[in-house]
Structure 1
């Protein structure tokens, strides 16, 4: 798997297929393989004639790990994504981000609107504005000696997921403490690119997709029926809705 280094940070990524590019940004405690390859997204886009780029966010997957919260934050990780586009010589791309990846995608769109053609914010609705809860129980769960010692339900779920993905739990804890910057309604309203907000109807983490979409000039909502935060990413309705959006909405 290729890796590029800039400003002393190594970022792993994949680059598959040919055609119009699309950048995939995964969620917290996941990685490019779990979020996008194992769920069929990479193959789907390649078959659609797209060039697919997916990165491991810093602290995740095969990218460089840091145990200092100051090394993280969605704006910092958005710059990692922008630097990857620079490295690959991609001037403009569609972007899809899931959960934390949606937040990173929003910062990328706000900071570098000329680089983003269309954006899909999946797994995150109005939680992008108001936050999605206290990060400390999740960070503490990741730092706990044993999964059995974790009593917080959400923290336990993320700890189990981190063990499943064989992640650096201390890096994830540092990321959790710093990567959840809120974005104001005024900032979101500045996004002029076409946006799709895709959230599972049983997702109790994301917040309202309709409330978030209403803040933007050109935003649609995709409800993923019966899916919660952890499983909505690979749902066929999710995939079909994203393809319809990309095929029918002009930038």
Structure 2
């Protein structure tokens, strides 16, 4: 991992490989390893992933600056620092929201777009992000142990356990994060945010777009993937196996459809 500084905040990033430039972002609470797990070996790419503020090896900076807009600006600044021109820009969950924002607000940056397991369409604070907001709120008001117990006893956790166990597992992992209060504020900030685009903005996206979705997930709803694929004129939707059903199949199918899409651009 390498680091660069923006506005006095040290941010970690991975810049690996040579070939087609691909800027690909992790989900909320994730890091570059989440991206490395699903990126295919072919075609050859130069893959850049910034670990967003407060996540992975990156510093937080001012809490009031934790937003999707700030994270997108950080990505743009890193791309400029590295001398990367138009690139394939994509991401998973929060990363998809960042890619969507860049496609609208920095169209010269985006040669093609990948929206994987999107958690936002265009509205801020969507209902599916409430579990993240709840975990964040608990972490700001309780010790990590007490917060975890309160979450595990909640109706939200019970519903996730029955219908989306992968979502539940991810959220439960947040209670062991260092600096739990600041991490809780990060979760609340992003869960209450949005990509800062309109339906008309999305309809105007003209670059080739791959949307990846799956069912059996209450946070990354298939309906949101379908909505984005329906709004973007050049989008293709691939529905893959959910991680909660078969993690090996999920990874294999994710890599396969992404490889196919990148091959058309290489």
Q: TM-score, normalising length from structure 2?
A: 0.81
3-state SS, counterpart of residue 214 of structure 1: helix
In structure 1, C-alpha distance between the alignment counterparts of 2:117 and 2:248, rounded to whole Å: 7
In structure 2, C-alpha distance between the alignment counterparts of 1:176 and 1:73, rounded to whole Å: 10
Matched, 1:95 2:89: yes
Indicate how the Cα distance of structure 1 residues 200 and 83 shifts in structure 2: closer, same or farther if over 3 A, else same: same
Q: Is the 8 A contact 2:43 2:262 kept in 1?
A: no
Report the counterpart of residue 177 of structure 1 in structure 2: 188
Deviation at 1:16, TM superposition (A): 1.0
Indicate how the Cα distance of structure 1 residues 239 and 181 shifts in structure 2: closer, same or farther if over 3 A, else same: same
Deviation at 1:167, TM superposition (A): 5.0
Indicate how the Cα distance of structure 1 residues 83 and 234 shifts in structure 2: closer, same or farther if over 3 A, else same: farther
Q: Which has the higher helix share?
A: 2
1:205-243, Cα deviation, whole Å (9 max, x unpaired) = 223122221111211101012445995996211110111
Report the counterpart of residue 149 of structure 2 in structure 1: 148
In structure 1, C-alpha distance between the alignment counterparts of 2:186 and 2:59, rounded to whole Å: 12
Q: TM-score, normalising length from structure 1?
A: 0.85
Indicate how the Cα distance of structure 1 residues 176 and 226 shifts in structure 2: closer, same or farther if over 3 A, else same: closer
Q: Unmatched 5+ residue regions in structure 1?
A: none
Report the counterpart of residue 114 of structure 1 in structure 2: 108
Report the counterpart of residue 238 of structure 1 in structure 2: 254
In structure 1, C-alpha distance between the alignment counterparts of 2:58 and 2:22, rounded to whole Å: 20
In structure 1, C-alpha distance between the alignment counterparts of 2:47 and 2:175, rounded to whole Å: 27
Matched, 1:213 2:224: no
In structure 1, C-alpha distance between the alignment counterparts of 2:21 and 2:179, rounded to whole Å: 30
Deviation at 1:184, TM superposition (A): 2.4
Q: Unmatched 5+ residue regions in structure 2?
A: 161-166
Report the counterpart of residue 32 of structure 1 in structure 2: 32
The more displaced of 224-233 and 201-210 is 224-233
Deviation at 1:88, TM superposition (A): 0.4
In structure 2, C-alpha distance between the alignment counterparts of 1:232 and 1:62, rounded to whole Å: 27
Report the counterpart of residue 121 of structure 2 in structure 1: 128
1:36-67, Cα deviation, whole Å (9 max, x unpaired) = 23x253xx34x532111111101101111246
Q: 1:50 aligns with which of 45, 57, 64?
A: 45
How many pairs align? 242
3-state SS, counterpart of residue 189 of structure 2: coil
Structure (1 or 2) with the larger CA radius of gyration: 2
Superposed CA RMSD:
2.7
